[in-house]
Amino acid sequence: MDRNEALELLNQHLKSENLLNHSLAVEAIMRGIAEKMGGDVDKFGLAGLLHDIDYDFTADDFHRHSLMGAEILSENGLPEDIVYAVKVHNEVHGLERKSLLDHALYAADPVSGFITAAALVRPDKKLEEVQLKSLKKRFKEKAFAKGASREQMQTCSELGLELEEFLDLGLQSMKKIAADIGL
């Protein structure tokens, strides 16, 4: 499945603009991780793009979230490693993250929301002026973007990345697509 087909599939299942933007942001971060770590950029991008494909159906039942998504992806012929990464990005299932792809998606998911929140508190609501320094400061503020799990973001260490490096990678990746996600 190429990116255009994946976008079409995503748009069939997700209707929320915020969720679509989140998916694009996670895709960008996953591509950034793949570039840095020598992974398959397109594969990592597809996993990021499609990771929440079931969210409109499972938002009220987190125990079904990612299982339904994995089923949708499997039915549409996506590779098993992408299907598994999508399944294990929801820790509620207690499944082991085995591959670089699994670890990357798990860490990338909350960092996209954290960086988005950092942009939205700015007067211009744009990523352009968000700096790593402010992300590091906000990371310590438990009340800021409290839905973005700090513990989950810190699993970037399983990728061999320091938190500061990971936050910067996420920020730079999202800045590349800022216009596409309204930031």
* pLDDT tens-digit map of 60-114: 999 999 999 999 999 999 999 999 999 999 999 999 999 999 999 999 999 999 9
H-helix or E-strand spanning residue 72: helix 67-75
For the chain, percent of residues with pLDDT exceeding 70? 100
Q: State the pLDDT at residue 37.
A: 95
* pLDDT tens-digit map of 159-174: 999 999 999 999 999 9
User: How do the domains of the chain map onto residue ranges?
Assistant: 3-176
pTM as predicted? 0.97
- Averaged confidence pLDDT in the chain: 97
* Fold adopted by 3-176: Hypothetical protein af1432 (1.10.3210)
